[in-house]
Chain A
């Protein structure tokens, strides 16, 4: 693990043209009358040992993408490769053993822990399910995991309701770590927590990565925290990626008009900076993914859309070195320059 961290270009997860549509079922005949295109043709790579941030507004498909990568949703189309192996073609038992390597931390630490199980049993469950340990060995492993996430091992006999939000999220992290995964999807792991507690959990995730060499897909809508924790960032809008690049490129040199608006809307905790800032206020709301607009998804809110944007759908292209953008306006600007 430590060696692989030095070679950050080693691909751990590769996603190819991934789509996840949910049927809209109406009436008593349960007829399918339409489709919600939650994830609509997404391709990208996650490198060994890196933290890739996945950002976008609520309803843009971030969580669905994360879960589809883990095969918690069956993809409608497209492929996911984990260490070069296609997950789609796997049998149930192969997938089950592969799941040990890929784990998820959920957003809501209140609903993601079974209230009737002790913390020890919650953390031990994956170890039991995968026949990894039992008896005294199991208890010892739970103790190590609790210590690793900064909780007192004596807490193992308590129930989730006895803990605060931040502590519950640590329990969720301990459960995800139990099977010693190499890839963790963190689905808005700090959104439900207070600011001061968010920093505690983020520092924990960073420490664990330094120690164990995890690869994270960090799903979030808080762009400040993404800048802090991530190496690369993918920006999603209405089921598609609109920009992907390193943290520096994405924050210092944002290209897509959606990303520019998103960044300008993030408040900065500094009144002097805030006085000088110009915001790009996007009009209206995100269109429904059941009925996305023709052409570029973003054309209903884009301040610089032109005729081509209403006819064709731009592809994500490497317009700058290792910095991909899906926008005709940016393409044409580069072509004419």
Chain B
């Protein structure tokens, strides 16, 4: 069995705003094994991105603060090391790609120079060697006439090409872990398929470990090995990918799946079953289970205590007081 590469333990990130404390991430833990692809899913505002930015120490402080927890990577706690050391980790050992490539590409610098900068900082390359390598990186992510395109500026690239250029930049430092924060959300399905196909090939080629953050359960089905479902800053369900889709056991995961239409089968007269309401305000999270106001199940205990994760099968954990297979549903007022 492969080894644990990254261990996240009770990671807690809050934002101190004028209105009060926003509890974005609330003590989440997981192990990331070498070579695996993990999918983190949930609606907007559930803390997925803040979790990733916390690992990278990219949370703006203030107002943000990592109030508790450890991120252990190669016997070091990334939360504790100096910013200088962290800068070497970022882009070198752990790289991140974002939804909007323009947030990480410099608009007034050529694509080539941006890749060369990463190579110089993290691979100690210079001159022609760096230039050659940058050309190779662009070719690797499938940009035609890569060598010539090194002189292009980001605005000269289409959305899909920018995303590829960002991946080339992220991979230039030869990272062990790639954190992808919804990198395909703004793209068309054909371009999304190109990017996912590319990431899959690169993963198999260079043995990358991936944390992929998305709200789209469709994408993860063909990409992830393990899934973490996030709600209101907590993990509410963890399971291997096939188990999660075939046998979801947290009412939130079930709701996410039943609100999705499928392109590969007709509706057979069925309606979609959305989750009613919307995610809770993390400024004033309710006492008890945060999903309670939207949950079609629930017992008295849900009002009082927030359930913690417990194992219900091999590698399958849920944070729920109820066994949905036997519980009765009731009307929820939206």
- Using known A-B contacts A164-B278, A268-B264, determine if residue A261 contacts B215 with beta carbons closer than 8 Å: no
Residue contact A58 to B266, C-beta cutoff 8 Å: no
Residue contact B263 to A266, C-beta cutoff 8 Å: yes
Residue contact A274 to B221, C-beta cutoff 8 Å: yes
Residue contact A269 to B43, C-beta cutoff 8 Å: no
**Cβ-defined partner of A203 (8 Å) among B161, B189, B264, B274:** B274
List of B residues within 8 angstroms of A97 by Cβ? none
Distance in Å: Cβ of A231 to nearest Cβ of chain B: 11
- Using known A-B contacts A267-B218, A272-B242, determine if residue A221 contacts B261 with beta carbons closer than 8 Å: no
Q: How far is the CA of A279 from the CA of B264 in the complex (A)?
A: 13
- Mask, A269-308, CB within 8 Å of B = 1, is 1111111010101101100000000000000000000000
Please choose the segment from A102-110, A126-134, A190-198, A324-332 that sits at the chain B interface, where 4 or more of its residues have CB less than 8 A away.
A190-198
Within 169-210 of B, Cβ neighbours of A (below 8 Å) are at 188-194, 196-197
Q: How far is the CA of A272 from the CA of B262 in the complex (A)?
A: 14
Residue contact B221 to A271, C-beta cutoff 8 Å: yes
The residue on A at minimum CB distance from B270 is A228
Residue contact B261 to A225, C-beta cutoff 8 Å: yes
Distance in Å: Cβ of B262 to nearest Cβ of chain A: 6
| B74 within 8 A of partner (CB) | no
| B104 within 8 A of partner (CB) | no
Q: How far is the CA of A285 from the CA of B245 in the complex (A)?
A: 32
Residue contact A269 to B259, C-beta cutoff 8 Å: no
Residue contact A267 to B190, C-beta cutoff 8 Å: no
- Using known A-B contacts A166-B278, A269-B217, A269-B245, determine if residue A221 contacts B188 with beta carbons closer than 8 Å: yes
| Interface size classification for chain A | 35 or more
**Cβ-defined partner of A197 (8 Å) among B190, B262, B264, B278:** B278
Q: Give the residue among A229, A261, A271, A279 with the most B Cβ atoms within 10 A.
A: A271
Within 68-117 of A, Cβ neighbours of B (below 8 Å) are at none
Q: How far is the CA of A57 from the CA of B159 in the complex (A)?
A: 12
Within 116-169 of A, Cβ neighbours of B (below 8 Å) are at 150, 164, 166
List of B residues within 8 angstroms of A14 by Cβ? none
Q: How far is the CA of A263 from the CA of B264 in the complex (A)?
A: 9
Residue contact B272 to A202, C-beta cutoff 8 Å: yes
Q: Give the residue among B197, B221, B255 with the most A Cβ atoms within 10 A.
A: B221
- Mask, B195-235, CB within 8 Å of A = 1, is 01100000000000000000111110110000000000000
| B158 within 8 A of partner (CB) | yes
Q: How far is the CA of A88 from the CA of B189 in the complex (A)?
A: 36
| A265 within 8 A of partner (CB) | yes
- Using known A-B contacts A269-B245, A271-B222, determine if residue A248 contacts B189 with beta carbons closer than 8 Å: no
- Using known A-B contacts A271-B242, A277-B222, determine if residue A263 contacts B215 with beta carbons closer than 8 Å: no
| A219 within 8 A of partner (CB) | no
Within 280-334 of B, Cβ neighbours of A (below 8 Å) are at 334
List of A residues within 8 angstroms of B121 by Cβ? none
Residue contact B193 to A281, C-beta cutoff 8 Å: yes
List of A residues within 8 angstroms of B56 by Cβ? none
The residue on B at minimum CB distance from A223 is B263
Residue contact A196 to B263, C-beta cutoff 8 Å: no
Distance in Å: Cβ of B25 to nearest Cβ of chain A: 19
**Cβ-defined partner of B260 (8 Å) among A150, A223, A269, A279:** A269
Q: How far is the CA of A198 from the CA of B272 in the complex (A)?
A: 10
**Cβ-defined partner of B189 (8 Å) among A150, A265, A272, A284:** A265
- Mask, A169-209, CB within 8 Å of B = 1, is 00000000000000000000000001111111011001000
Residue contact A227 to B261, C-beta cutoff 8 Å: yes
Residue contact A274 to B222, C-beta cutoff 8 Å: yes
Within 225-269 of A, Cβ neighbours of B (below 8 Å) are at 225, 227-229, 247-248, 251, 261-269
The residue on A at minimum CB distance from B246 is A272
Q: How far is the CA of A194 from the CA of B276 in the complex (A)?
A: 12
List of B residues within 8 angstroms of A281 by Cβ? 190, 193-194, 197
Q: Give the residue among B158, B246, B274, B334 with the most A Cβ atoms within 10 A.
A: B274
Q: How far is the CA of A196 from the CA of B221 in the complex (A)?
A: 17
| B257 within 8 A of partner (CB) | yes
List of A residues within 8 angstroms of B193 by Cβ? 264-265, 279, 281-282
Q: Give the residue among A200, A261, A264 with the most B Cβ atoms within 10 A.
A: A200
Q: How far is the CA of A322 from the CA of B141 in the complex (A)?
A: 42
The residue on B at minimum CB distance from A57 is B188
List of A residues within 8 angstroms of B21 by Cβ? none
Within 28-81 of B, Cβ neighbours of A (below 8 Å) are at 43-44
- Lowest 9 CB-CB distances: which A-B pairs, in order? A274-B222, A199-B274, A267-B218, A228-B261, A265-B193, A199-B259, A199-B272, A196-B275, A57-B188
12 A-B pairs whose Cβ atoms sit less than 8 Å apart in the complex: A196-B274, A197-B274, A199-B274, A200-B276, A228-B272, A265-B190, A267-B219, A268-B264, A269-B218, A279-B193, A284-B144, A285-B160
Q: Given contacts A198-B274, A268-B262, A279-B197, could you give 6 more A-B pairs where the C-beta distance is less than 8 Å?
A: A57-B191, A227-B266, A229-B261, A271-B221, A281-B193, A281-B197
Binding site for B on A (CB under 8 A): 57-58, 150, 164, 166, 194-200, 202-203, 206, 221, 223-225, 227-229, 247-248, 251, 261-275, 277, 279, 281-282, 284-285
